[in-house]
Amino acid sequence: MKDELSEHTRNILGLQLPTDPRWVNLAELQLEEILTDHAYCEQKAATTCISLIQKNPEKALLVEKLSPIVTEEWGHFRQVLAELKKRKLSLGRQRKDVYVNKLIDFIKKGGSPTERFLDQMLIMALIEARSCERFKRLSEGLDDQYMRKFYRKFMESEAGHYTLFINLAEHYIDKKIVRTRWKEWLAYEKTLMNSTEVRGDRIH
């Protein structure tokens, strides 16, 4: 049976293709791996926001809005570490993020500084949207009630992040340009999701 995104989720996240339902079942069988990958996703989110601040110190609104996100994402990293420790599981090594690397391939090469900045904002928005959708899947599909609540909290916390990056892009770049490019990103991500192997040891 084809699993469609609800209109509500579509409106919130803009994603064109839902996660394969099999992913939750696979993730539940590989909890140590999924928690390890989740921890590194939170770490990368924090360090990427730091990098964006370092590269764009003249953009006052960006610095103001991303500074607390750094703290929040690092806090999430620590929460996942604590969950691993509680379960007597180990933080494994960071793995190659195929999903993110394929998204990076879609960034315009040799574009203007404005085009590069726009793509940096939109790739972050897309990663946050897909992460939120995955957390929603885990919060609804896991058999472990505690882990359902665990991921529900992450979903609620992450829900507004994707719109923050789009809003920042629209603050510095014409809204029509942002929206046009965002549609291109969504279409590309749908193709990417269709062609990527379903793996339970990865958040993406």
Residue 2 included in any domain: no
In angstroms, the CA 87 to CA 183 distance is 41
Q: What is the CATH number of the domain that holds 70?
A: 1.20.1260.10
Q: How many CB atoms lie within 10 A of CB 145?
A: 8
**Number of domains into which the chain is organized:** 1
Q: What is the dihedral of CA 123, 184, 103, 204, to 10 degrees?
A: 80
In a domain, 10, yes or no: no
- Tell whether 8 is covered by a domain: no
Q: What is the pLDDT along the chain (204 residues), one digit of tens a residue?
A: 334 444 444 455 689 988 988 999 999 999 999 999 999 999 999 999 999 999 999 999 999 999 999 999 999 999 999 999 999 999 989 988 899 999 999 998 888 999 999 999 999 999 999 999 999 999 999 999 999 999 999 998 888 898 999 999 999 999 999 999 999 999 999 999 999 889 989 999
Nearest to 125 by CA among 27, 49, 40, 38: 49
Structure tokens, 128: 């946050």
At 136, is the secondary structure helix, strand, or coil? Answer: helix
